[in-house]
Amino acid sequence: MRKKIGLILRKAMGGDAEVSIPENEKFGHYSTNVAMKLARGKKAAPRQRGEPCPAGRGNSLELAAELAAKIEKSAPAGFFEKVEVAAPGFINLWVSKKILRDELVSIFRQKERYGRSDVGRKKKVIVEYSSVNVAKPMHVGHLRSTVIGDALANVLEFAGYKVIRWNYVGDWGTQFGKLIAAYKRWGRKSEVEKSPIGELLSLYVRFHKKEVENPIFLKEGQEEFMKLEAGDKENRKLWRWFSKESMEEFKKVYGILGVKFDVVLGESFFEPFLKPLVERLYKKKIATESEGALVVNFDKFSAKKGLPPALVQKSDESSLYLTRDIANLEYRIKKYKPSGIIYVVGNEQALHFEQLFAIAGIIRLKNTKLAHVKYGLVLGEKGKKLSTRGGEAIQLEELLRKSVGLAGKIVEQKNPKLKAREKNAIAEAVGVGAVKYNDLKENRMSDIYFDWDKMLDFSGDSAPYIQYTHARLRSILRKAHKASGIQYPSFAKASVGKQVSSLDTDIEMALIRKIAEFPETVRRSAENFFTNNIARYLYELANLANKYYESTPILTDKNVDRRNVRLMLINSVAVVIKNGLGLLGIKAPEKI
């Protein structure tokens, strides 16, 4: 709808104009500030300090009136109910009810396809997210990456991109040398088999403690990693085993979260590429020697001055995280030729990605747009970083189990008659949805504080609220099907035109305008890689829907035509909610 108005404005004045939705309806359903923008452009003439601005208010108001007249003229007959000009130069627009009703019919006919677009035009995009580390449990930090990345992938797909979901697993590096060293000292096969991640973690933690006391342990770890990288048989075998056991456990968590990947590759995969890569960088004088190590010094490349130098090879000739990421990048671009790659990785790695992208520029990987979608840390209740080593990290499995358990209790209480199987499915959808939504609605850069109460709050601005609204809408629609034999497909035929005119109340019009915002909400999310606008949109829509069925009889409406179109309206709302939650990776059960 906003797009349509944008087109009318463009026609009216031959240029693009920003269309916004005012918070207060007295300023219109839609509003534009072009007049003020244009007025500013005109009064570029220099003036004395302190002298009152010659253009400014009066001028932009006049211009607004002029434009408003043009807009009214070039809009289709009866499109706007009202066009008003307000100081200091806003043009406020009210869309007529007829246009809104037509919009609803169009939305209704599009069904599940409503909101999809082809802005991506099947272009390939790689979304890298989750990025778990072998031998370490998934915690709430991984949750952010996993949930945000998965939602972005959904959104991009919905916008017509061909998305490759990529899990880049941390399975290489000095830490594995330490782990191997620890296992060789204290490990037992049976213990690891019993609880792989738990046992590997405790070995790692134990080793880390020793390392702090005695640097000989650090050296031992580094040596084991060198052996691993050199292809030592025993170390390779251990490493393969650790990876396999860990991935099995991660799969369980991904199963609960309902997250799937197209490509799961470990850092280790790129190991064969590293030597030639480093040699190439050295030959081309991109990397230079410094204190025995190889370093990319950005000051030599005029475009990237000021970045701290980046290490690509240690003085013992072993590889680094960055080296592997460069290899990974080259590999992806060569194999998939994506138009963009999105890394969903925490804020704390900002420098790493700046350096990676700068190197990508230097070695001319320019046709692929690179984006680091960053997010704040998850902090403990006292504002401190949660450390895995200190055992403070809140483990993902525990969180999900608690949330699903709580949801289960509430379902038991509210809906005791349902079958156990159904109850479990609902508890999982609600419990997992609540946790996911919590991360997705606050997708800001700022750090977030982990709070159990907040995580497990199922009221207000939460996934369960939206799911509940959806379930109630579906419940009404189910009853309509059963009791009165109403058949939806008939709505999509000719009779709709007449019936739909009985939709008339303010809240009905507001609901139509709200569902009309869905496509642009999704588009914006795909453009700037945010998900919180979708979450907020869904909450607002659900809130409006809630008010609607609390205040307006639908199924019990005695006016049959009106009842039918009201059902049509809530059907469209339900479809949008379900689709929108789907984009966020959250299920919308029929009953809850």
Partner RNA sequence: GUCCCCGUAGCUCAACCGGAUAGAGUGCUUGGCUUCGAACCAAGAGGUUGCAGGUUCGAGUCCUGCCGGGGACACCA
> Interaction with RNA in 419-448: which residues (CB under 7 A)?
426, 430, 441-448
Of residues 132 and 259, the one with the C-beta less far from RNA: 132
Of residues 213 and 453, the one with the C-beta less far from RNA: 453
22 cis-preceded (ω within 30 degrees of 0): no
Of residues 18 and 112, the one with the C-beta less far from RNA: 18
| CB of 34 vs RNA, minimal distance in Å | 9
Of residues 163 and 541, the one with the C-beta less far from RNA: 541
Of residues 193 and 316, the one with the C-beta less far from RNA: 316
Given a contact cutoff of 8 angstroms between Cβ atoms, the answer to whether 145 and 131 are in contact is yes
C-alpha dist (Å) from residue 587 to 342, 450, 466, 590, 592: 25, 24, 10, 10, 11
Of residues 150 and 520, the one with the C-beta less far from RNA: 520
Pairing of strands 263-266, 369-373: unpaired
3-class SS string, 125-182: EEEECCCCECCCCCEHHHHHHHHHHHHHHHHHHHCCCEEEEEEEEECCCHHHHHHHHH
Chain-centroid distance, C-alpha 350 = 18
Of residues 163 and 324, the one with the C-beta less far from RNA: 324
- Please work out the total of residues on this chain that contact RNA, with binding judged by CB under 7 A: 115
Task: Look at residues 492, 494, 477 and name the one whose alpha carbon lies nearest to residue 563.
Answer: 477
In the region spanning residues 83 to 112, those forming contacts with RNA, defined by CB under 7 A, are 86, 88-90, 92
| CB of 248 vs RNA, minimal distance in Å | 20
Binder among 81, 422, 457, 561 for RNA (CB under 7 A): 457
Binding mask 148-187 for RNA (x = CB under 7 A): ----------------------x-xxxx------------
Assess 40 for contact with RNA (CB under 7 A): yes
Question: Distance between CA 427 and CA 589 in Å, rounded?
Answer: 10
Binding mask 264-283 for RNA (x = CB under 7 A): ---x----------------
Of residues 131 and 368, the one with the C-beta less far from RNA: 131
Given a contact cutoff of 8 angstroms between Cβ atoms, the answer to whether 434 and 462 are in contact is yes
- Which among 115-123, 329-337, 361-369, 539-547 is the span making contact with RNA, rule CB under 7 A? 539-547
Task: Look at residues 539, 549, 511, 521 and name the one whose alpha carbon lies nearest to residue 108.
Answer: 511
Residues 6 or more apart in contact with residue 279 via CB below 8 angstroms: none
Binder among 214, 290, 490, 505 for RNA (CB under 7 A): 290
In the region spanning residues 458 to 517, those forming contacts with RNA, defined by CB under 7 A, are 458-462, 464-465, 468, 471-472, 475-476, 479
Cβ neighbour number for residue 564 with a 10 Å cutoff? 23
Chain-centroid distance, C-alpha 474 = 26
Of residues 54 and 255, the one with the C-beta less far from RNA: 54
> Quick one: CA dihedral 259, 371, 383, 465, positive or negative?
negative
Binder among 357, 539, 562, 588 for RNA (CB under 7 A): 539
Assess 42 for contact with RNA (CB under 7 A): no
Chain-centroid distance, C-alpha 210 = 40
Given a contact cutoff of 8 angstroms between Cβ atoms, the answer to whether 128 and 166 are in contact is yes
Question: Distance between CA 239 and CA 228 in Å, rounded?
Answer: 8
Binder among 63, 197, 259, 320 for RNA (CB under 7 A): 320
| CB of 194 vs RNA, minimal distance in Å | 26
Which helix (H) or strand (E) segment holds residue 83: the answer is strand 80-86
| CB of 190 vs RNA, minimal distance in Å | 28
Assess 315 for contact with RNA (CB under 7 A): yes
Assess 380 for contact with RNA (CB under 7 A): no
| CB of 350 vs RNA, minimal distance in Å | 4
Cβ neighbour number for residue 223 with a 10 Å cutoff? 14
In the region spanning residues 189 to 248, those forming contacts with RNA, defined by CB under 7 A, are 222, 225
Of residues 124 and 314, the one with the C-beta less far from RNA: 314
In the region spanning residues 115 to 144, those forming contacts with RNA, defined by CB under 7 A, are 133
